[in-house]
Amino acid sequence: MSRPTVLIPGPMNKTVLTGIAENFDVIRLWEADDPDALLAERAKDITAVATGGTTIDGAFLDRLPALQLVASFGVGYDKIDAAAAAERGVIVTNTPGVLDDEVADTALGLLLMTARELSRAERYLRAGSWPERGYPLTKATLSGRTMGILGLGRIGEAIAHRAEAFGISIAYHNRHPKDVAYRYYPTLLELATAVDILMIVIPGGDETRHLVNTEILQALGPDGILINVARGTVVDEEALVEALHSNTILSAGLDVFEHEPKVHPGLLDLDNAVLLPHVGSATTPTRNAMGQLVVDNLTTWYTTGAPLTPVHESTALVQNLHN
């Protein structure tokens, strides 16, 4: 019996490549001399795609008539048109859960660095300025603050639990309230007005593009701290640069950017912005766990017909298969 064929459009985590090769016929498209010709030749054989960031839209899906599953490496899947996939009967999976703690740790690290100017203070020391005079007192403290979490999902709750240990009060905005002890605000504007830390943990995509704009930043106010560990597209970067430059908000800590890996040059010039190169889940153990979940989603799909972590656009498809 022939093994199922899995297409890998671009380079991926070694755990993914090794795990898939053990059980599937693999097409490593990025290594082909003529990727388009190879895809056309093998399209009818391909029943799954494993991807770590390739854009997969309706046109791409239409090139693969036998496709059943797209297994994505990462929690965010905004480069995959999951709705278009569902319309074609194709299930999309992602890798939630295994990176929650790592991203939450990064979020709190960014908050500490931003509020207490830790990276700025280190640069001061390295520049040899300490013998001349001590580093100036920072304007901000975390004591007595309220954090508003935009997107209280798994990662958002992990961040909330950590923030509570710092004595920070928690509020949140989701589409719908959850059964939690934290205060719920029905609009983002109301949340931003009520808090002095805005933590962004929602998915990217057209629905959330530039949700954090000039109005939201003005509502956050001059003592406000913005932290983004979600997707750069959620924030209007032009508005953020202006807000930081004019002290409309106090500071920002960013692990993601609107056009990454390009970073807005205005951010690079600002001392009240802490910038990281999208390292939220970037540890070897976590990335390997994410890779293994990609492999496990593929394996369980072909052995049981039920992938482990389908995205919400694919939930109805999975349910219909088992009704």
Contact 138, 116 (CB under 8 A): yes
Beta-bridged to residue 7, according to DSSP, are 27, 49
**Sheet-wide strand order for 251-254:** 183-184, 169-173, 146-150, 197-200, 225-228, 251-254, 273-275
Contact 225, 197 (CB under 8 A): yes
Phi and psi at residue 103, in whole multiples of 5°?
Answer: -70, -40
Q: What is the dihedral of CA 38, 53, 74, 202, to 10 degrees?
A: -140
Instruction: Calculate ∠ Cα 74-165-289, nearest 5°.
Output: 20
Q: Are strands 5-8 and 197-200 parallel, antiparallel or unpaired?
A: unpaired
3-class DSSP state of 237 = helix
Instruction: Answer whether the bond into residue 261 is a cis peptide, omega within 30°.
Output: yes
Separation between Cα atoms, residue 157 and residue 15, nearest integer Å: 28
Tell me the two tokens of residue 167: 């004595």
Exposed/middle/buried for 175, CB within 10 Å: 0-12, 13-18, 19+? exposed
Residues marked active site are found at 231, 260, 278
3-class DSSP state of 190 = helix
